[in-house]
Structure 1
């Protein structure tokens, strides 16, 4: 097969979306001709990619399969109007490229949450190629969850209509979270959905034994979707309890977090700037708990963040305030603690319960190692995905 992957985020960018598509490219290109249409790395900012540690995959660095779109506008603007302008520019350039090149491919594989890219790839285009839509976020609902549509409420019904049409003009839909299935089925009941979660490569799997100093870790964005206030409250609670807490953070509220930690002269809480995926995984393995906190909105509490999969893949218990599929996954498999809209006190109590019960922590670690082998291995999942793409 000849496959074109269309994604806003791609290696060497950090984040689960970029890592997911790096793995899709690496595994699918082993047996198929795969090209990637993407942008220049700029998440969370362009400057950080001057550091060569993020460009660790020499195979991709040398590949001619990666087509990067040059953009004039910036997606990192705090202005919603400027961000929309960026998406319109990106959509226009994707549209032109697809119109010229789609006939050369058997599969057009496009991802959300930026729905401007699927719109550009699918709407008003000749349906010459199998259309596969990957849904990693329920956009535009996620915008209401971060209060970014307050000034643009009049366009929300239009966005919802286009969301429904996007699903319906797809031939196949891939979801990375079972929590999305019912929503999409309601809007596009005739289109088949297949679940393929974020995963680990076999070579990435490595586990460490628990350390003497009990440690909690948070890795990732502190942006619109994350609960910054609760993260601060948890940091304060862990400091008071003398529990080590390491946070590898980036995003719009990261500098506030750094400043808060410095101003309060915390002894047990340490903040770190962005790290590569390999560096993050190495850190996670040496900790006792992986923390994941999102804002308490219906949209965000049903997602399955990449940091939860990272924790499970490293054999580390996960503590979170999420509901939905993530909650079910964690509690049913006993790989941590999950309670929808958990208060800070409940989060801290869960951490202490694991801290003071070595047998419980060890059982959660063993359960995580089993779960990653059963459900979260690319080498297994990619074979199933290939069968779907061939249909």
Structure 2
């Protein structure tokens, strides 16, 4: 039986697409009869306190796995606009992972490491030589390109250093896994590697999640924003959109977390058409998403974000909820090509309101989009099928 070590800062029961991706990967590889172990951290995103609630620990098979899930404790837990706070946090995680690897006497055939943060990537590179294993690098965001995109860090010398480190990781890895096809060309050019070294495995859903969806019609139009309200998301646009939605009698539900959450919630709390819900488990979140007519996605208009495919898009499609996307590049291409919503790269709230009303007024079109979404998920974003690509490589 082949042995795999996964190294990931985030994992079950944390919320967010990073933790959910690694949870599915871990469980799918076990289903494929691999002996899988993970080094991860104690759940703390977006804050440690929410995981005191037992409802987040809803995967009994993982709750029993004490030996194969090894967690490190973290002292610096600040998720903030301060890039220095984040860097110290990432470095602390990386150093503790290194100590685990040095102490661990087992042998592994494959080291699977997910990045960003880039420091975890270098932990994986160290593990490759420590265990004499194949090194699989999972890229969920282009880093440091995304640092430039969020606009909180602009020191060319340090960014160039990070860029050089990124290139080393691409070259030294045995396989690169990407969750967005938008990354493929960038990585090829950056590291001068062949396309054959790159494997596309997007975030996705499992069949049980799709089977549990039960859509119902609403008397009052309802749209939802579910997910991160961070530095990459255009929260300013949501802020401007809320009063316009209220004027039109359209309700907005937000299930949100992230560094811009408090600022946004404070500025929109006086509007009666807004319902704010605290972070939920994935299962509970899906139940609420399905009660809505449309799902909203927003990204800032920066070049790097044209390469990403937000996890919200896949979650909305899993729930059969048509998408209104303030997006560009690869994500916009997916929404338009598959005809599962409307996408625009404008940040004009009046124009976004027009698109929302256009879809809300066309019940037949929304139903067609909803049906297509399930087809697209089963065909392209299905973990049970997509894990076979990784298994084929590892075998």
- Cα gap change, 1:365 to 1:125, in 2 (>3 Å): closer
Give the equivalent residue in structure 2 for 1:244. 251
Confirm whether residue 88 of structure 1 aligns to residue 95 of structure 2.
no
Q: Which ranges in structure 2 are unaligned for 5 or more consecutive residues?
A: none
Aligned mate of 2:266, from 234, 259, 278: 259
Superposed CA deviations along residues 80-136 of structure 1, whole A, max 9, x for unmatched, are 223212222222222233345486101100001111011122159627101100000
What is the TM-score when the length of structure 1 is the normalising length? 0.94
Q: Provide the rounded CA distance (Å) in 2 between the counterparts of 1:234 and 1:347.
A: 8
Equivalent pairs counted in the alignment come to: 387
Q: Provide the rounded CA distance (Å) in 2 between the counterparts of 1:102 and 1:292.
A: 45
Give the equivalent residue in structure 1 for 2:142. 138
Give the Å deviation of 1:255.
1.9
Q: Provide the rounded CA distance (Å) in 1 between the counterparts of 2:259 and 2:347.
A: 24
Contact kept in structure 2, 1:9 and 1:39, CA below 8 Å = yes
Confirm whether residue 217 of structure 1 aligns to residue 224 of structure 2.
yes
Q: Provide the rounded CA distance (Å) in 2 between the counterparts of 1:252 and 1:239.
A: 25
Confirm whether residue 5 of structure 1 aligns to residue 10 of structure 2.
no
Give the equivalent residue in structure 1 for 2:367. 362
Q: Provide the rounded CA distance (Å) in 2 between the counterparts of 1:364 and 1:2.
A: 42
Contact kept in structure 2, 1:111 and 1:118, CA below 8 Å = yes
Confirm whether residue 194 of structure 1 aligns to residue 194 of structure 2.
no
- Cα gap change, 1:125 to 1:25, in 2 (>3 Å): closer
Q: Provide the rounded CA distance (Å) in 1 between the counterparts of 2:16 and 2:342.
A: 23
Which runs of structure 2 are paired with 1:1-391 in the superposition (5 Å)?
1-30=2-31, 31-63=33-65, 64-101=67-104, 104-123=107-126, 126=129, 128-150=132-154, 152-190=155-193, 192-205=197-210, 206-262=213-269, 264=270, 266-390=271-395
Q: Provide the rounded CA distance (Å) in 2 between the counterparts of 1:96 and 1:320.
A: 43
What is the TM-score when the length of structure 2 is the normalising length? 0.94
Superposed CA deviations along residues 210-252 of structure 1, whole A, max 9, x for unmatched, are 3232210001121211111101112121111111111111122
Give the Å deviation of 1:60.
0.9
Q: Provide the rounded CA distance (Å) in 1 between the counterparts of 2:346 and 2:393.
A: 36
Contact kept in structure 1, 2:226 and 2:254, CA below 8 Å = yes
Give the Å deviation of 1:77.
5.0
Q: Which ranges in structure 1 are unaligned for 5 or more consecutive residues?
A: none
Q: Provide the rounded CA distance (Å) in 2 between the counterparts of 1:256 and 1:375.
A: 36
